[in-house]
A and B are shown apart, each in its own frame.
Chain A
Amino acid sequence: MTYDLLSTIIYNLFSPYMLGLALIGVVLGLVFGALPGVSSTMALAVMLPFTYGMETAPAMVLMLAVFFSSVYAGSVSAILLNIPGTPGAMITLLDGNAMAREGKAAEAMAYALIASIFGGIIGWIFLVILAPTIATYALQFGSPEYAAVVLFGLALVAYASSGDMLRGLAAGAMGLIIGLVGRDQVTDVPRFTFGTADLQGGIDIIPLAIGLFGIAEVLSLLIRSKTDTPAVAVSRARTWPKFSELLGELPTVLRSSTIGTFVGAIPAAGSAVAVALAYACEKRLSKSPEKFGTGIPRGVVAPEAANNACVGGALIPMLTLGIPGDSITAVLIGVLLLHGLRPGPGLFENQPDLVVTIYGALFVAILLTALVAGLIGIPVYRKILAIPQRLLTAAVLVLCLLGAYAVRNAVVDVWVAIFFGAVGFAFIRLNIPVLPLAFGAVLGPLLEENLRRTLIIHRDVSVFFERPISLVLVCLSLAILLLPVCIMGLSYMRKRRIHR
């Protein structure tokens, strides 16, 4: 990358238009993330329609700003209300709310913000260092390797998703079938179109994401009984911790951020797993583990650093391999596809300026989150948390309808969003993980393209076992899929032995 190109990108990123978009994204992300029940994915799904008319770079700037700030803001309701704003904040509430109940709400929020910013920066550094290396390596992948990578990603998603693996597999298969709807790219044969012209072009990923992550979550909120929010004592005595206290938390930030980045990079492992691991790690290393959960800063720092480091981690497989790290990056892939771009190693080769813009946009989002969240205090957050749910519900559902329509100004997309909203709601009720469905829909065409190309060129499935990378990935996928079956078998045999 030339110096001129780099300076142009930096100049563009810091232009009033881009900074304004990033600022809007950060503010909206802080509001959405702080609201209980509104996840980061829903925030991004709601913001999607506003990116349709934008160029790719501004669209990514806006979405990444919403992404990062909403992940941080999940800690606000965890600390003040004892309700996690996002799944990643579910561990933060243990010590964060305990601190708040002791009158240290402002201090807990300061620790959460500082840990989030440092976690985000460490995740970003890993992204900038690792992504080009992985992409260069991935450029050497042939279609067998690519098909094996997709298969491996799907196996991981089925295994790691909430619910259980059998349900994850069923959801993943449904998602892959959804990805095949429409005319076949090679032979132009229609598949699963039910004779309608509207489905010949396939099911667009954006209305599907709006339905699964926007409408479905609001429908779940509608039937949830309202809970009283516990009052929290707010002290203005000291907001920011001392420098020496912060320095004492530095090893925790480094450890937790590293865990967060690498767990975030594993497809579907997600921030919930990362925060649990980081918290458990700190508890194990602590000289006084019994203090965790009673309201100590380290109990806030560890999950928040891990949670925000996940953002950079999740972008690594998305940018380098085109495989979403979580549901949020699945929506981000939708944004890139909408602009005619497919993430993967080709993006680094053909659109290096966009990749650098994405790096820069995330960094700007981190800085702006620090600035905005640092400036606004608890009274502002209390006002945000007081937004009536009834108006929020109406706004989000109407926005979902309009957003789905605005993708292509097509009525069918509204029906697709409503249909997948109902499907997502049914999945939530039946405890079937939604994520494999979305992953399958995103990765289905990629899997088919590479599988068919492999079989056309090599004429035999044995090629997957002849090439080292695909062999390792296929074996790992099979191991992941068969592992629970083996465990169940062993457990059954042990039980029988004990019974005898």
Chain B
Amino acid sequence: MSQTLNKYHDIQTDRGEVINDIVSGCLCLALALGLAGVHFSQAGRLHDDFARDPGPALLPLILLAALGLAGGGLTLRGWFGLKKTTASSNQSSLMSLWPAALAVALMCAFLPLRHILGAALALCLIGAALAVLAGRSDNVPWFFTAVFGGVIGLILYALFHFGLSVPL
């Protein structure tokens, strides 16, 4: 019980957590509103006669309301928390997330590359690029890292294509 209280207290005194609250609250609200838009555009075809004939609209409505309420709660908590805290200089910037963003972009490139070059070469290239990205601060020549990464991609391709008969 007291753990929850302390957790809440700790969260509120940390500026980073306050910003996390606002960002996640706004995202939840946006998601709830966006999905509600999608849901209600299908409402003409949904039987949402509550209780007597619980149709496919019942649970989505409850969940969208719950998501919206949780998002609103987070945003409000963050908003009030902003007043209690001061900005700190050691907050990490969004730019520090570039390796993760690049890794996602490389993974997204798999499907287009597979069409152009074939799965084996695509996986070899992506494996090499991911290894170089992960080893960017290691004291190992990037060329060797790329070669090892490429070989890993090829081994995994062979394992899935020939070993597990997956039509890549």
Contact = CB atoms under 8 A, between A and B. Distances in A.
Mostly, the B contact residues are helix
A242 interface: no
Contacts of B54: 451-452, 455-456
Given A170-B28, A170-B70, A222-B133, A459 B51 contact: yes
A394 interface: yes
A422 B137 CA distance: 23
B64 to A, nearest CB: 7
A223 interface: yes
Contact of B99 (A165, A169, A187, A223): A223
B30 interface: no
A460 interface: yes
A394 B134 contact: yes
A177 B160 contact: no
A135 B127 CA distance: 46
Interface in B1-15: 1, 4-5, 7-8, 11
Given A176-B63, A393-B134, A487 B5 contact: yes
A487 B1 contact: yes
Interface stretch (A315-323, A371-379, A423-431): A423-431
Contacts of B165: 53
Interface stretch (A63-71, A72-80, A285-293, A405-413): A405-413
Nearest to A431: B20
A498 interface: no
Nearest to B70: A170
Measured as residues with beta carbon below 8 angstroms from the partner, the interface class of chain B is: 35 or more
Nearest to A170: B70
A391 B70 contact: no
A383 B104 CA distance: 30
Contact of A167 (B4, B5, B24, B149): B24
Contact of B103 (A226, A397, A414): A397
A25 interface: no
B33 to A, nearest CB: 13
A191 interface: yes
A226 B99 CA distance: 14
A32 B28 CA distance: 34
Given A215-B107, A487-B5, A189 B56 contact: yes
Contacts of A411: 111
Given A180-B59, A191-B60, A448-B59, A394 B111 contact: no
Contacts of A220: 100
A84 interface: no
B123 interface: yes
A353 interface: no
Given A167-B74, A177-B35, A192 B126 contact: no
Contact of A189 (B17, B42, B156): B42
21 contacts: A52-B164, A164-B7, A177-B67, A189-B45, A189-B55, A191-B60, A215-B107, A226-B137, A390-B140, A390-B149, A391-B135, A395-B127, A395-B152, A398-B156, A402-B156, A415-B111, A421-B107, A432-B20, A451-B59, A487-B1, A487-B5
Interface of A: 49-50, 52-53, 164-167, 169-170, 173-174, 176-177, 180, 184, 186-187, 189-192, 194, 215, 218-223, 226, 388-395, 397-402, 405-406, 409, 411, 414-415, 418, 421-422, 425, 429-432, 447-448, 451-452, 455-456, 459-461, 483-484, 487-488, 491
Given A167-B74, A173-B66, A226-B137, 11 more contacts: A173-B63, A176-B63, A177-B60, A177-B64, A220-B100, A223-B96, A394-B149, A395-B156, A401-B126, A405-B166, A452-B58
Listed from nearest, the 5 A-B pairs whose CB atoms lie closest are A390-B135, A393-B134, A170-B70, A184-B56, A394-B131
